[in-house]
Structure 1
Amino acid sequence: MNGLTGMEKFSHLEDKIYLTIQFAKTLREENERIEKEIAELRRETAALLAEKTRLEEKVESLLTERDAIQLKVEAMLDAMTIIDSEVAEAVGRSQ
C-alpha cells in the first residue's frame, strides 16, 4: 500500500541525483574560488614579508646613521667646549 509507483520512485531518485550533482558542482566551484584566494593571499604574504625585511634593513641603516651623526655632534660639542675655554682664558690674559 505504498503510495508511490515505480516511475514516481525513479523520478524522485532522479531528482536526488540531480541535486547531488548540483551540490558537487557548487562545492567544486567554491573549492576553486578558495584555492585562488589562498594563492593570492600567499602572494600578498610573500610581498609583505619582503617589504618587512626591506623596512627592517632600512631602520637598521637609519639607526647606524643616527649613531654616527650623534658621535659627530658630540665631537663638535667637545671641540666647542675646548675653544670656549681657550677663548675665555685668552680674554682673561688680555685684561
Structure 2
Amino acid sequence: MQTIIRVEKLAKTFNQHQALHAVDLNIHHGEMVALLGPSGSGKSTLLRHLSGLITGDKSAGSHIELLAAQSSAKAAWPAISAKAAPTPATSSNNSTW
C-alpha cells in the first residue's frame, strides 16, 4: 500500500516539558487510524503538526511528509481546515457558537 502520511523522529517540547519524543508514524492509503491516550500524552500536538499549525523541535531532525498522490485527499484539506474553526451563529436570536 502507498504511504500517504509519514512522520519520522518528531519531537516537540513546550517550556521544558517534552510533549512528543521521537514519534514515527506511517499511514497508508485506505487505513483508518485512531489516536488514543491519556490527557497530556501528545495526541493534539501530533495533529497540530500534521495540520501545519506548529513545527517540531529543530534539534530533533524531525520530518513530516503528506504525500499528495491522492488528489481527492489533497483537495479536502482546505475544506477540513475551514470546518475546524468555530464560527458564531448568524441568526440574530441565536448567540451561541
Please indicate, yes or no, whether the TM-score normalized by the shorter chain is above 0.5: no
Bigger strand fraction: 2
TM-score range, shorter chain: under 0.3
TM-score, normalised with respect to structure 2: 0.19
Identify which of structures 1 and 2 has the higher relative contact order when contacts are C-alpha pairs closer than 8 Å and 6+ apart.
Answer: 2
Bigger helix fraction: 1
TM-score, normalised with respect to structure 1: 0.19
Greater Rg by CA: 1
